[in-house]
Structure 1
Amino acid sequence: MTVHRYLPLAAAVLLAGCNSQRDQVAHDVAMAPADAFLAAVAAHCGKAYEGRVVVNEPRSATPDPFDGKRLVMHVRGCDDAAHELRIPFHVGDDHSRTWVLSRTDTGLRLKHDHRHADGSPDAVTMYGGDSAPPGTAQRQSFPVDAESVAMFRKAGMEASVTNTWAMEVEPDERFVYELTRPGGRKFQVVFDLAHPVALPPAPWGADVKP
Structure 2
Amino acid sequence: MTTTKNSQLALLVTASTMMAAPALATTSEQNQFFDNIAAHCGKAYEGTVTAGNDADSAFTGKKLVMHVRECTDEQLKVPFHVGDDHSRTWVITKTPYGLHLAHDHRHEDGSEDKVTMYGGMTADMGTATEQSFPADAHSINNFRENGLNVSITNIWHMYIKPNEFTYRLTRENRDFRVDFDLSKPVALPPVPWGHE
TM-score for both structures, normalised by structure 1:
0.86
2:39 — aligned with what? Answer: 43
Alpha-carbon distance in 2 for matches of 1:96, 1:29: 30
* Aligned partners of 2:56 and 2:176 also within 8 Å: no
Q: Deviations over 1:153-178 (max 9, x none)?
A: 0000010000000101113x000001
Write the letter of the residue equivalent to 1:169: I
Q: 2:166 aligns with which of 176, 192, 207?
A: 176
Alpha-carbon distance in 1 for matches of 2:85, 2:34: 26
After superposition, the Cα gap between the structure-2 partners of 1:68 and 1:156, relative to the gap in structure 1 and judged at 3 Å, is same
Is 1:75 matched up with 2:71?
Answer: no
After superposition, the Cα gap between the structure-2 partners of 1:19 and 1:36, relative to the gap in structure 1 and judged at 3 Å, is farther
Q: 2:29 aligns with which of 23, 26, 33?
A: 33
Q: 1:98 aligns with which of 77, 83, 89?
A: 89
1:121 — aligned with what? Answer: 112
1:152 — aligned with what? Answer: 143
Write the letter of the residue equivalent to 2:98: G
Which is greater in Rg? 1
Alpha-carbon distance in 2 for matches of 1:20, 1:30: 20
Q: CA deviation at 1:185?
A: 1.3
2:181 — aligned with what? Answer: 192
* Aligned partners of 1:129 and 1:144 also within 8 Å: yes
After superposition, the Cα gap between the structure-2 partners of 1:20 and 1:166, relative to the gap in structure 1 and judged at 3 Å, is farther
In the alignment, structure 1 segments of 5+ residues that lack a partner are none
* Aligned partners of 1:51 and 1:189 also within 8 Å: yes
* Aligned partners of 1:165 and 1:180 also within 8 Å: yes
Between the aligned residues of both structures, percent identity stands at 50
After superposition, the Cα gap between the structure-2 partners of 1:8 and 1:29, relative to the gap in structure 1 and judged at 3 Å, is farther
Q: Deviations over 1:22-74 (max 9, x none)?
A: 997xx559710111010000000000000000011xx22x6710000000000
Q: 2:133 aligns with which of 124, 142, 152?
A: 142
Q: CA deviation at 1:15?
A: 5.8
Alpha-carbon distance in 1 for matches of 2:59, 2:135: 22
Is 1:55 matched up with 2:41?
Answer: no
**Matched residue pairs, number?**
196
1:162 — aligned with what? Answer: 153
Alpha-carbon distance in 1 for matches of 2:150, 2:131: 22
2:8 — aligned with what? Answer: 11
SS in 1 for 2:139: helix
After superposition, the Cα gap between the structure-2 partners of 1:199 and 1:106, relative to the gap in structure 1 and judged at 3 Å, is same
Write the letter of the residue equivalent to 2:88: R
Q: Deviations over 1:169-207 (max 9, x none)?
A: 113x000001001x3311010000000000000100013
Q: 2:57 aligns with which of 50, 56, 64?
A: 64
* Aligned partners of 2:24 and 2:96 also within 8 Å: no
Q: CA deviation at 1:12?
A: 4.4
In the alignment, structure 2 segments of 5+ residues that lack a partner are none
After superposition, the Cα gap between the structure-2 partners of 1:18 and 1:124, relative to the gap in structure 1 and judged at 3 Å, is same
* Aligned partners of 1:132 and 1:143 also within 8 Å: yes
SS in 2 for 1:202: coil
